[in-house]
Amino acid sequence: MNLVELKNISKIYKTGAVKFIALEQINLTINKGEYLAILGPSGSGKSTLMHILGCLSTPTSGDYLLNGKNVASLSVNQLAKVRNQNIGFVFQNFNLLANLNIVDNVALPLVYRGIAKEERTKKAKELLTHFGLGGHFSHHANELSGGQQQRVAIARSLITEPDIILADEPTGNLDSKSGDDVIHMLEKLNRDGKTIIIVTHDEKIAERTKQIIRIVDGKIM
């Protein structure tokens, strides 16, 4: 069974009488364990595609089968549950909460799953230690370097053991060395069996993945 199957997905934004087609008749299949890049220039629709793949927004038309289940028309709370259980996000801006320390940031997805504090803290600390941040548990995001913050974000994306990791320009705010470290980390996760999707406009990053999906003007080339 395919992990992800997009069938004739379109996304149209309407502002008054003006219609903007962000995605048009997208068909895409992703299997478990794949490592692929969605590549395209700014405004091509790659972020919209990532939002749909991550269940952050729903398509205007078409079907999105995730683990065989159509998630295109789920309710807000049902989509939240799917995101929590099936998808891990890594953002360009790291998107860590400034008022929480890194342990609480990593543990946050488990809060929404109703896991007890002791258990989620233990799991978060294990992951942070695994990513070389064992000595920074009490630190807040602004006390870490960009590379460290992105490692925290990757740890957070893994804590729910999701089916897919969606990384949106994961090296966009990092220097080349830190960016390289992050890509290495994602490659290792893929080798361990995780399905990784990187959304990027950077050809070099995309070339390091196993498969590239090029998107231009809302269509897959």
Partner 1 sequence: MVRERRRIMLTILAIAWATFAISTMLAIGEGLRLNFAKTVANSGNNLLTFKGGHTSIVYLGLPAGRKIYLTKSDYARIANLPNIKHMTPVYSVFAKMRYGDKNLNKEALLVNEQYAKIHNIDLLPGGRFISKLDLLQKRRVIVLGEKTSQDLFPNNPNPIGLYLYFANELYRIIGVMQHKSEMMGRHDNDAMMNWLPSSLHKTFGGFQAIDSIDITYKNADRLVALENWIGRIVARNHGLDPNDENIVHFRDYAVRQENINSFFLGLEVFLGLVGLLTLIVAGVGIANVMFATVNRDTCEIGIKMALGAKRYQIIWPYIKESSFAMLQGGFFGVVLSGALVFLLGLIPLHGKLFEVIGRPKAVLSFGVIVVVILSLGVVGMLAGFFPALKASKIDPARAVSYE
The owner of tokens 């683990």 is 67
Distance in angstroms (rounded) separating the CA atoms of residues 153 and 168: 12
| Tokens at 1, concatenated | 């069974």
Among 15, 42, 77, 142, binds partner 1 (CB under 8 A): 77
Select the span of 2-10, 36-44, 109-117, 129-137 touching partner 1 (CB under 8 A): 109-117
Quick check: 73 binds partner 1 (CB under 8 A)? Answer: no
Quick check: 115 binds partner 1 (CB under 8 A)? Answer: no
The residue (of 28 and 110) whose beta carbon lies closer to partner 1 is 110
Select the span of 32-40, 44-52, 65-73, 142-150 touching partner 1 (CB under 8 A): 44-52
Residues in the chain, overall count = 221
Quick check: 74 binds partner 1 (CB under 8 A)? Answer: no
Angle at 190 between CA 221 and CA 198, to 5 degrees: 35
Q: How many residues bind partner 1 (CB under 8 A)?
A: 24
Quick check: 85 binds partner 1 (CB under 8 A)? Answer: yes
Residue 177: CB minimum distance to partner 1, A: 25
Distance in angstroms (rounded) separating the CA atoms of residues 97 and 84: 17
| Tokens at 52, concatenated | 């749909």
Please name which of 143, 200, 148 lies closest in space to residue 170, comparing C-alpha atoms: 200
Q: Name the DSSP letter for residue 142.
A: G
Please name which of 151, 36, 158, 35 lies closest in space to residue 87, comparing C-alpha atoms: 158
Among 97, 130, 145, 207, binds partner 1 (CB under 8 A): 97
Could you list the residues that contact partner 1 (CB under 8 A)?
47-48, 51, 54, 56-57, 76-77, 80-81, 83-85, 89, 91, 93, 95, 97, 108-109, 112-113, 156, 160
